[in-house]
Every structure is written in C-alpha cells, then in structure tokens.
Chains A and B, each alone.
Chain A
Amino acid sequence: QKEVEQNSGPLSVPEGAIASLNCTYSDRGSQSFFWYRQYSGKSPELIMFIYSNGDKEDGRFTAQLNKASQYVSLLIRDSQPSDSATYLCAVHNNNDMRFGAGTRLTVKP
C-alpha cells in the first residue's frame, strides 16, 4: 500500500464548477497535510495546509481533513482555466514529507 494515494485523473471540470480532489494516507501518526500545485514543467508550490480535523478555507480553496478516516481533500470553487495543473497531496510525519503521485486537473473554458 502506498503511503499517500491520490486518483491520478485526469479530472476534467467546466469553468465555474467545483473541483474535488481526494487523498488518503496510511500512517495514522501523520501530523500535517499539504496541498501543492504543480504546473507542467514547473516546481510544486504550496497552496494549502491543514493539521486539524475539519475544514479550512482560503479564498476559492477549502481543505478538509478527517484523521479518523485518514482522508484529506481539496475543493476548488469557481474553477478557472488557470487552475489546470497537477495537485499533489503531501503528508508530514516524523520529520519527513511523503507525496502522492498527484491528480491532474483540467478546467475547460
């Protein structure tokens, strides 16, 4: 079992819709959870982090964490074509960070 699992996609949504990205992790001791965005040919950049159960909102982005289910998600409201990228889920535990393989999102105009 991979430590951090994501649906590779591609996930395609129309402009203005809500995009929902999901991630599960195997280590119950994981402490912090991150969503990175990576445009093609570029390095990852942090867009959200969460470490408490529940929802955390930042503009059009909402991160959701459920530690009991070992599940973290990212919702993107009012999706824009500029949101088209690969979204990487990352889980921090015991001084290292493990990344999922990423979900490729395409927002169609």
Chain B
Amino acid sequence: GAGVSQSPSNKVTEKGKDVELRCDPISGHTALYWYRQRLGQGLEFLIYFQGNSAPDKSGLPSDRFSAERTGESVSTLTIQRTQQEDSAVYLCASSSGQGVPYEQYFGPGTRLTVT
C-alpha cells in the first residue's frame, strides 16, 4: 500500500515569504507527527495530531509555525515570514497505534531552503 507522502519534495523560498508543506499519512493512521531536521542534527518534534483530539503543539518553535489536520487525513504545516534558520528538512510521520506499538512511518520529507 501507499506510504506517507509529502509535498513538495524541495522548496526554495525567499526570506519573509510564507510556505505551506503538505503531508498525506497512511490511510487509517490516526496519529500524525511533524518533525524538523536541520543538517547533521536529530529530529526536533514540532506537533502531534491524534484523531480528533486537540493537537500537541508544544514543539512549535514560534508563532510563525502552525499546522492543521483535516480529520484523520491530510495535514499542512505553515511557516509564515520564513527566516533563514527555518531551512531544514521537514519530516512527517504517521502511526496507527496498533501492531508495533506507536511505530512511526516517515515520509520522504520536504527540504526547505530559505534564501
């Protein structure tokens, strides 16, 4: 079956512009996560969605970052007024909470470059 997909795969934007990143989780997965990974660094948790519960936004680095999810499907991560330090790979992962407990399946990521 289809895995987690993300779009665009690459995004180059000018400082100050807004960007929107998209994640399509695996069908039926109720949990969805967004992470940021700077070059050579680990994964930085941004936000977590679980079903219809209020999202855990504790990892969002500033109010320029926001995310939405429609039901248990697509999620968008929006970065407003982008800064050069926002340059990173943004990874999305989904999880069913069944089988291997909380195993996350990652998408290919969106590489964001802010010039």
Chain A positions near chain B (C-beta within 8 angstroms):
6, 32, 34, 43-46, 49, 51, 88, 90, 92, 95-102
Contacts and interface: CB of A to CB of B under 8 A. Distances in A.
B65 interface: no
A29 to B, nearest CB: 14
Contacts of B50: 95
SS class of chain A's interface: helix, strand, loop or mixed? strand
A92 B101 contact: yes
A44 B45 contact: no
Interface of B: 31, 33, 35, 41-45, 48, 50, 56, 58, 91, 100-104, 106-109
Contacts of A97: 33, 45, 48, 102, 104
A95 B44 CA distance: 16
Contacts of A45: 106
A44 B102 CA distance: 15
Contacts of B100: 46, 49
A51 B91 CA distance: 25
Contacts of A51: 101
Which 9 residue pairs across A and B have the least CB separation, nearest first? A101-B42, A43-B106, A99-B43, A102-B42, A92-B102, A96-B48, A32-B101, A44-B106, A46-B103
